Amino acid sequence: LAKYRVVFLRHGESQWNKENRFTGWHDVTLSQKGVEEAKAAGQLLKKEGFQFHQVYTSVLTRAIQTYNYAAEEMGCHYLPVTKSWRLNERHYGALQGLNKSETAQKHGEDQVKIWRRSYDIPPPPLDPTDARNPANDRRYADVPKDALPLTECLKDTVVRVIPFWHDHIAKDILAGKNVLVVAHGNSLRSIVKYLDNVSEKDILELNIPTSVPLVYEFDSNLKSLGSYYLGDQEEIRKKMEAVAKQGAKK
Ligand code: 3PG
């Protein structure tokens, strides 16, 4: 029998999701559709009776905005929110800003899939002198410089996300708190890989849809008993397929 649960939420559609550009640590806002998606997630969580004690987000605007719009619907703006760079999207290196389809035209769909979904092959890194080096961004001032990435594969993302899971999120859950985690496609893929022990091969096919609440249930040792998405399952399947197709040539 399930003893604990947690809800994960990928942010709603961002401006760069809409433009189909690699985003990573680039800070963009939600698109109008993303705002509507975030509100819909809040309404759904409310309708299903979810009530939270603690919220976690990344330090990227699209995740924070998603929580704020959802909170408005749930009437829970008062909740404590802990923001951490460790929940950020995977850093997309020198691909950040490029259009995903155009990149597939140029380098091939297979290469783009490797960059997007492989476990241990990172995209080409940002040049350290690039103005976009996270070391130049004051929001990361407290992060040790050697922990700040110039690119990341999923394996690198796992290395910085999972300690945060153990040190903060898992502790709260075990203390009986209902926790909502609002994060990103690949930071959530890292957590799912860890919780379900997904193989490096199977993780290639895992796509997380925008702004659909993902509920995990656990036993008393926080061992995963399974997970499910809230909402219309056919719609959710289409949304996941759309994410996978972002890397297709036009
Ligand atoms: C991005 O950073 O571009 C997206 O948020 C996730 O992208 P992906 O689905 O291409 O990994």
- 200-245 pLDDT, tens digit per residue, is 999 999 999 999 999 999 999 999 999 999 999 999 999 999 999 9
Tens of pLDDT along the chain (250 residues)?
Answer: 899 999 999 999 999 999 999 999 999 999 999 999 999 999 999 999 999 999 999 999 999 999 999 999 999 999 999 999 999 999 999 999 999 999 999 999 999 999 999 999 999 999 999 999 999 999 999 999 999 999 999 999 999 999 999 999 999 999 999 999 999 999 999 999 999 999 999 999 999 999 999 999 999 999 999 999 999 999 999 999 999 999 999 8
Q: Evaluate: CB of 184 within 6 angstroms of ligand 1.
A: yes
Q: Whose CA is nearest to atom 4 of ligand 1?
A: 23
User: Is 92 close to ligand 1, i.e. is its CB under 6 Å away?
Assistant: yes
Catalytic pick from 11, 91, 168, 184?
11
The verdict on the CB of residue 186 being under 6 Å from ligand 1 is yes
Q: Whose CA is nearest to atom 1 of ligand 1?
A: 23
Looking from the CA of residue 14, the nearest atom of ligand 1 is 5
The pLDDT, as a whole number, for residue 250 is 85
The CB of 23 under 6 Å from ligand 1? The reply is yes
What are the DSSP calls for the chain, one per residue? ---EEEEEEE---BHHHHTTB--TT---PBPHHHHHHHHHHHHHHHHTT---SEEEE-SSHHHHHHHHHHHHHHT-TTS-EEE-GGGSPPP-GGGTTSBHHHHHHHH-HHHHHHHHH-SS-PPPPPPTTSTT-GGG-GGGTTS-GGGS-SS--HHHHHHHHHHHIIIIIHHHHHTT--EEEEE-HHHHHHHHHHHHT--TTGGGG--PPTT--EEEEE-TT--EEEEEE-S-HHHHHHHHHHHHHTTS--
Q: Of 219, 191, 216, 235, whose CA–CA distance to 87 is shortest?
A: 191
Q: Does the Cβ of 115 fall within 6 Å of ligand 1?
A: no
Dig out the tokens for 44 from the structure.
Answer: 């759904």
ipTM surpasses 0.85: yes
- Verify whether residue 205 is a known catalytic residue: no
Measured in Å, residue 244 CA sits from the centre of ligand 1 at 10
Question: Is the CB of 187 within 6 Å of ligand 1?
Answer: no
Q: How far, in Å, from the CA of 90 to the mean position of ligand 1?
A: 8
91 catalytically annotated: no
